[in-house]
Amino acid sequence: MAGLLSAAGYEITFESNEADTIIVNTCGFIEDAKRESIETIFEYVPYKEAGKRLIVTGCLSQRYPEELAAELPEADAILGVGEYEGLLKAIRTGFPPSCRREKDNSMGESRLLTARAALTPRYSSYLKIAEGCSNNCAYCVIPSIRGPYKSVPIDQIVAEAEELAKEGCKELVLIAQDVTWYGNDIYGRSALPELLRAIIASEAAKGIEWIRLLYCYAERVTDELISVMADEPRILNYIDLPLQHVSDRLLKSMRRVGTSDDIRETIKCLREAMPDIVIRTTFITGLPGETGKDFDELYGFVEETRFDRLGVFVYSPEDGTDAAIMADQVDQEIASERRDELMRLGQRLSLEKNEQLIGTVQDVIVDSREGDDWVGRTRGDAPEIDDSVIFTAHEKNVKIGTIVKVRITDAMDYDLIGELV
């Protein structure tokens, strides 16, 4: 959206007071995200009094266009997912009434290669390799919002990676709803290893020093993918495996791929090939039918596996999903207690792992400066979601966006303390 607006001659600002038009890009995935989206929209409604215009777009408006139109008469336009041309039309034509309820039901073709405007620091960039999802997990609304999985061809992704490299990208984060499913829809096979090799082989993308994978299905992590990750230094020994649960009974009822044995085997293979790999995961507590025994199994699995990074969410029954109408819905208070218990375990494991890093020297990408300290991330920390390294540097030539060597001197539950080598 920002790329199209910039190309059309509009200036992007992050300051609400400077803007003529405010665009709120919403999420409609789970209850907390929906609530945050609604709160954000209402946060900007008062700006209407100053003559500013308000556009609501994204997943929430794709999912509930009529409801939002009724509840938000202040919105000048309500646009669905991927409705980029509709956005330009709304701004150019001065928001005619017909714009207010526009919704793209077709999901549209991927517009991932449209000229981009950097909304993240240029040294660290996300690159979406596919849109939509075809997994149809029983609790998830993403397929109904974003449509089936649609891969972007390899040559187009490589071209975008090269363009990002020219703009100074040092860290490339490959994302999709499931990056391990990449290629099946257009090549008839899993092509993620092939894509990684193509990016690595590109001379124009050599400036990218770190390549990170987010959102991999454990059961689709192949031997070939593990081999590529282990053999290529620029592909970080880091992987995000959103496992959701480990109870075979719940995995089956939620229509997750594979079993608990498959999950354990994947983790075993990853750690054998890359002993230093950082594994991030997320789990859901309170899935329909989750018993105390199921939760004990999950707790024991986390304690046994000792994940490096852990996120836990309370199950949210979503309209239109099969899980929402299943019997044996778990009380939200119980689900929250289980989440808190699991997060306390994750916190303890994180501290123990961080303490093991004291005295080591880590590659750190520098994100910001806070007073006399610098803040960055190790190879094992994805932007925005993982831990930080807070370090001192007596020299004055540290620059944001560079990768430096930091000796770890102390550890906290989640963050590390260090000094520039």
* pLDDT, tens only, 101-135: 444 434 344 444 456 677 778 899 999 999 999 99
Q: Do 133 and 178 meet the contact criterion of CB atoms below 8 Å apart? A: yes
User: Is the predicted pLDDT of residue 372 greater than 60, yes or no?
Assistant: yes
Q: Do 365 and 377 meet the contact criterion of CB atoms below 8 Å apart? A: yes
H or E element that contains 164: helix 154-166
Give the mean model confidence (pLDDT) for residues 28-46.
86
- The more confidently predicted of residues 417 and 66 is 417
Instruction: Return the axis-axis angle of helices 260-273 and 223-231, rounded to nearest 10°.
Output: 30
Q: How far is CA 109 from CA 89, 106, 132, 152, 405, in A?
A: 18, 8, 11, 10, 43
Helix spans in 205-355 (H): 223-231, 248-253, 260-273, 292-305, 332-355
pLDDT value of position 108: 40
Q: Do 161 and 168 meet the contact criterion of CB atoms below 8 Å apart? A: no
pLDDT value of position 110: 45
Q: How far is CA 175 from CA 76, 192, 221, in A?
A: 31, 11, 15
Residue type at position 2: A
- Range from 68-72, 307-311, 395-399, 407-411 carrying the lowest mean pLDDT: 395-399
Residue 81 banded pLDDT, cuts 50, 70, 90: confident
Q: Give the rounded distance of the alpha carbon of 111 from its chain centre.
A: 19
What is d(CA 414, CA 408) in angstroms, rounded to the nearest whole number?
Answer: 13
Q: Do 129 and 102 meet the contact criterion of CB atoms below 8 Å apart? A: no
What is d(CA 49, CA 29) in angstroms, rounded to the nearest whole number?
Answer: 31
Six token digits for residue 84: 């980029």
Six token digits for residue 261: 């044995």
Q: How far is CA 328 from CA 139, 288, 324, 341, in A?
A: 14, 6, 10, 21
Q: Give the rounded distance of the alpha carbon of 359 from its chain centre.
A: 31
What is d(CA 299, CA 277) in angstroms, rounded to the nearest whole number?
Answer: 22
For 370, other C-beta atoms within 10 Å of its C-beta total 9
Residue 7 banded pLDDT, cuts 50, 70, 90: confident
User: Is the predicted pLDDT of residue 419 greater than 80, yes or no?
Assistant: yes
pTM for the structure as a whole: 0.87
Closest CA to 153 of 209, 205, 109, 99: 109
Six token digits for residue 225: 């993918």
> Strand, coil or helix: what is 154?
helix
Residue 94 banded pLDDT, cuts 50, 70, 90: low
What is d(CA 78, CA 358) in angstroms, rounded to the nearest whole number?
Answer: 51
- The more confidently predicted of residues 372 and 283 is 283
Six token digits for residue 350: 């994180």
- The more confidently predicted of residues 64 and 259 is 259
pLDDT value of position 105: 39
Give the mean model confidence (pLDDT) for residues 173-192.
96
DSSP letter string, 31-72: HHHHHHHHHHHHHHGGGGGGT-EEEEEEHHHHH-HHHHHHH-
Residue 14 banded pLDDT, cuts 50, 70, 90: confident
Q: What is the DSSP letter of 81?
A: T
pLDDT value of position 8: 87
pLDDT over 70, % of the chain: 94
Q: Which residue has the tokens 């230094």?
A: 233
Q: Which residue has the tokens 């500013």?
A: 52
Map out the domains of the chain with their CATH numbers. Answer: 2-101 (3.40.50.12160), 124-355 (3.80.30.20), 361-420 (2.40.50.140)
